[in-house]
């Protein structure tokens, strides 16, 4: 009798698990055969292009994604106003070695860092002193006064997770100018954040300290960083000329773009899935983060094509201003709290449109345990990493409200070849990898809206 009862208990569970397997297979099959992600990303990249906050292209991207979600018949599509910083690069950025005994005058491959105050039209000439990251600057101290500080800490090539390598080196980019200004430096050069030696400079955000001067900060390619370091070892009186016309114009009105399919049973519980709509003003923002935005829209589109009605509300969010301010993520969280909305999960894709390996997460042990319990449902698709800590920058402000924060975790080996560069264009995105990521996100949303977390 006990065996019969046990079988009766287990039988419905078996059917339930099988139903999940079938639904997830349906998602992957549909996306890989009839997906819209690749064409939608092509339009965003090729017809609109890069989308720095406050730019006309950012405004065009807002309108494109709004109209796209409306065309798919989502229950609600709306714009959420948010004030964003408006920084402009201006003219051509320049870093030149002017007195090399070995090479004479030599122009390096350079890009001003985001939010950088420019040098003015006359540029800036100065002696150069090299340091290895922020710790090296502290050792140098007053030796930086009146100099151009060259931050040359590389990303650690031995770390398999390239985002860990990035985290270990990016401090010199984000706060190098602010810290160097404390010691009286008059400018900053930063080695690009890349795990490859090449001639492509990488821009990225940097933040000033309001108590110290806003000194110009420019990045140079990794190959040129290697060259500059070599020349400095041979010639200590090397001089470098910097020129940037960067300027902060102040805040302007922009929008988060939100599309929603309302839940049929527990509509007050919300699952947000999204990416950031803005990008740097070089390249096309294909991997960072056009891919994540289009994948998020595809989650809801697949639901509409399949005719599925979620138990809980699912919401696609295109956050604005992740790159140089995070204003969109903060405003979204503020409005959610003000309205008393209940997010049970927030999923962000902001690590490129590469081959998905799993999901990173931060939350309670119970939440992360529930996420890990679904691992076997994803292994047929070679998606297996569910123990990675993390989440996403735009969803981070929701943390205090209690949802599990989840990031799509793709293969990271190629990401920092393209990150924040002119090379981040549509052509470097693989269609199948992009679609697999969209299908993985949809499958996870399906499990969360059915079971909760």
Pairing of strands 266-276, 342-348: parallel
Residue 268 annotated in active site: no
E strands of 102-209, at which residues? 104-108, 110-112, 124-131, 148-151, 187-191
The DSSP line for 310-353 is: -SEEEEEEEES-TTTT-HHHHHHHHHHHHHT-EEEEEEE--S-S
Q: Which of 321, 369, 292 is nearest to 81 (CA)?
A: 321
Q: Extract the tokens encoding 57.
A: 């292209």
Any idea what the Cα angle at residue 320 is, between residues 333 and 445, rounded to 5°? 60
Q: b vs e for 306-336, b when ≥16 Cβ sit within 10 Å of the residue's Cβ?
A: eebebbbbbbbbbbbbbbbbbbbbbbbbeeb
Within a 10 A sphere around the Cβ of 424, how many other Cβ atoms?
29
Residue 286 and residue 45 in contact, taking contact as beta carbons nearer than 8 Å: yes
Question: Which residues fall within 8 angstroms of residue 87, CB to CB, at 6 or more apart?
Answer: 52, 53, 54, 114, 115, 116, 246, 247, 248, 249, 324
264 phi and psi angles, rounded to 5 deg: -95, -25
Catalytic residue among 31, 94, 298, 322: 322
CA distance to 113, 180, 242, per residue, from 122 (Å): 19, 22, 9
Instruction: For 309, list phi and psi in degrees, rounded to 5.
Output: -110, 110
Rounded CA separation 398/336 (Å)? 8
Query: In angstroms, rounded to a whole number, what is the distance separating the alpha carbons of residues 176 and 191?
Result: 11
C-alpha distances (whole Å) from 330 to each of 65, 320, 386 are: 20, 10, 27
* Separation of alpha carbons 154 and 90, rounded Å: 28
Catalytic residues: 322
């Amino acid at each position: 009798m006990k065996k019969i009862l046990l079988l009766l208990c287990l039988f419905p569970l078996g059917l339930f698990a099988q139903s999940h397997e079938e639904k997830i297979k349906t998602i992957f099959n549909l996306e890989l055969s009839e997906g819209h992600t690749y064409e939608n990303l092509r339009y965003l990249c090729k017809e609109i292009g890069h989308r720095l906050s406050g730019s006309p292209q950012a405004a065009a991207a807002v309108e494109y994604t709004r109209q796209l979600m409306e065309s798919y018949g989502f229950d609600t599509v709306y714009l959420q106003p948010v004030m964003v910083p408006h920084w402009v690069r201006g003219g051509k950025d320049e870093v030149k070695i002017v007195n090399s005994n070995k090479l004479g005058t030599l122009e390096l491959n350079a890009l001003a860092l985001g939010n950088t105050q420019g040098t003015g039209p006359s540029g800036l000439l100065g002696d150069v002193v090299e340091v290895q990251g922020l710790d090296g600057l502290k050792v140098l101290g007053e030796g930086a006064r009146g100099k151009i500080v060259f931050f040359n800490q590389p990303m650690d090539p031995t770390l398999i997770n390239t985002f860990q390598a990035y985290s270990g080196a990016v401090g010199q980019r984000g706060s190098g100018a602010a810290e160097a200004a404390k010691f009286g430096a008059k400018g900053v050069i930063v080695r690009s954040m890349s795990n490859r030696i090449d001639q492509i400079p990488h821009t990225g955000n940097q933040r000033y300290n309001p108590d110290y001067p806003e000194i110009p900060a420019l990045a140079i390619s990794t190959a040129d960083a290697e060259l500059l370091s070599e020349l400095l070892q041979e010639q200590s009186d090397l001089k470098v000329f910097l020129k940037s016309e960067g300027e902060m114009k102040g805040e302007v009105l922009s929008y988060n773009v939100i599309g929603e399919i309302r839940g049929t049973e527990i509509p007050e519980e919300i699952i947000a899935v999204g990416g950031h709509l803005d990008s740097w003003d070089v390249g096309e923002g294909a991997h960072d983060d056009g891919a994540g935005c289009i994948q998020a829209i595809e989650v809801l589109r697949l639901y509409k094509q399949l005719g599925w009605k979620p138990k809980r509300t699912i919401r696609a969010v295109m956050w604005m201003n992740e790159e140089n301010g995070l204003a969109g993520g903060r405003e979204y969280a503020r409005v959610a709290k003000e309205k008393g909305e209940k997010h049970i999960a927030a999923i962000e894709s902001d690590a490129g449109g590469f081959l998905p390996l799993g999901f990173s997460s931060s939350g309670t042990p119970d939440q992360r345990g529930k996420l890990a319990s679904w691992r076997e449902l994803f292994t047929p698709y070679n998606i297996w990493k569910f123990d990675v800590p993390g989440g996403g920058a735009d969803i981070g402000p929701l943390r205090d409200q209690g949802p599990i924060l989840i990031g799509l975790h793709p293969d990271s080996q190629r990401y920092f070849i393209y990150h924040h560069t002119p090379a981040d264009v549509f052509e470097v995105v693989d269609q199948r990898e992009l679609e697999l990521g969209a299908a993985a996100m949809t499958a996870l949303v399906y499990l969360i809206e059915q079971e909760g977390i």
